[in-house]
Amino acid sequence: MESAKTTAADAAAVAASSKTGDVCDGVATGRRSKRAKTTVGSYSSSRGTPVKMSREDFAKDMGAIKKMRGRKALSTEECLCIVHLYLKLKQRRQQPSRGAPKKTTVQQEVADLLGYSRSTVGSIFSRWNELKRQNGGKPPASFAMENERGKHAKGKRIPESSSVIALVHDFVEGKRAKHQSVTAVQLTEYLEEQGILEIKRDPLTSTYDKAAWNAAHRVTCSYMKKHGFLRAKEGKSRSNEEGDGDDGNDGNDGSDADNGDNGADADDNDARKTHAQAV
């Protein structure tokens, strides 16, 4: 009886020790099992990344990647990567499988995996098929996309040519030589006279359309700021800020007179009296 109890006790001890380590000749070695649970690391405590991430973390990471990548036109290499992945997924779906077929289309799956829109993926693969048809059903020797993203930018209303810059510079320097400040209103009207800017007018009164004038004025302000024609505070010219108040007032009076000559009503004049501009 005693030997039987001893044998049972030894077996229980071996079974208990085997849960935490290996057993060699009935003696626990004390080594940890390979399947023992370990503490999940974090970005702050170790170099390893967390084993599990929440959906919010995944969405943040992928959103940041899309933002860094931007919406520039896709290169030929990027388009070919999209076509390669599209064909690879189609090949896998045509192979026999015991699982249920996927509900999403190949086009949508490629878009989800690469982070592009479904329409972008579809247009690229359509272009690939078009080139194959033109090549007699064989893969084309080269790949070129038409109507790439980022290629539809409108032309600037004020051209960035050296001739236009010189024209504006001469106009500004001519005003300054007469000790007059230069406003964006004056420059907008001058560019229209030179045929550089087109501003819609009311067909009945021949005055500027208010929305069209404001849009043209904003373009002129951006152009002056970009090319070094510094913007002054509202209602003041740069000459006023430097202490030359008489010259600045003369320039503002001149711009008001020009506004009256154009035949605009009181509301339009108020809208056109905006920030003074000076070199």
Q: Is 163 helix (H, G, I), strand (E, B) or coil?
A: helix
CA distance 241 to 226: 21
CA distance 199 to 202: 10
CA distance 85 to 82: 5
Q: How confident is the model at residue 82, as a pLDDT?
A: 92
107 Cβ contact partners less than 8 Å away, ≥ 6 residues apart: 86, 118, 121, 122, 125
CA distance 30 to 21: 5
CA distance 50 to 56: 14
Contact 139, 130 (CB under 8 A): no
Contact 109, 89 (CB under 8 A): yes
Q: Specify whether the backbone of 195 is left (phi greater than 0), alpha (psi in -120 to 50) or beta.
A: left
CA distance 110 to 85: 7
Return the closest-CA partner of residue 175 out of 161, 164, 166, 186. 186
Rg (CA), the chain: 37
DSSP letter assigned to residue 147 = S
Q: What is the pLDDT along the chain (279 residues), one digit of tens a residue?
A: 555 555 555 655 555 555 555 545 545 555 555 555 555 455 555 565 555 778 888 888 888 888 888 777 788 888 999 999 999 999 988 888 887 778 889 999 999 999 888 998 999 999 999 999 998 999 988 887 765 555 555 667 888 888 899 999 999 889 889 988 888 899 999 999 998 888 988 888 888 889 999 999 999 998 888 888 765 554 554 444 444 444 444 444 444 434 434 444 444 444 444 443 433
Q: How confident is the model at residue 264, as a pLDDT?
A: 40
Element (H, E) at 28: strand 27-28
Q: How confident is the model at residue 190, as a pLDDT?
A: 92
pLDDT per residue over 51-101, tens digit each?
577 888 888 888 888 888 877 778 888 899 999 999 999 998 888 888 777
Q: Is 263 helix (H, G, I), strand (E, B) or coil?
A: coil
Contact 89, 97 (CB under 8 A): no
Which segments of 135-209 does DSSP mark as H helices, in order?
Answer: 162-177, 184-193
208 strand-pairing partners: 201
Positive or negative, the CA dihedral 214, 215, 216, 218 is: positive
Q: How confident is the model at residue 33, as a pLDDT?
A: 56
Rounded to 5 degrees, φ, ψ at 182 are -115, 125
- How far, in Å, are 3, 184, 197, 202, 258 from residue 217 at the CA level? 105, 7, 10, 17, 15
27 strand-pairing partners: 24
Residue 127 structure tokens: 């272009």
Contact 260, 269 (CB under 8 A): yes
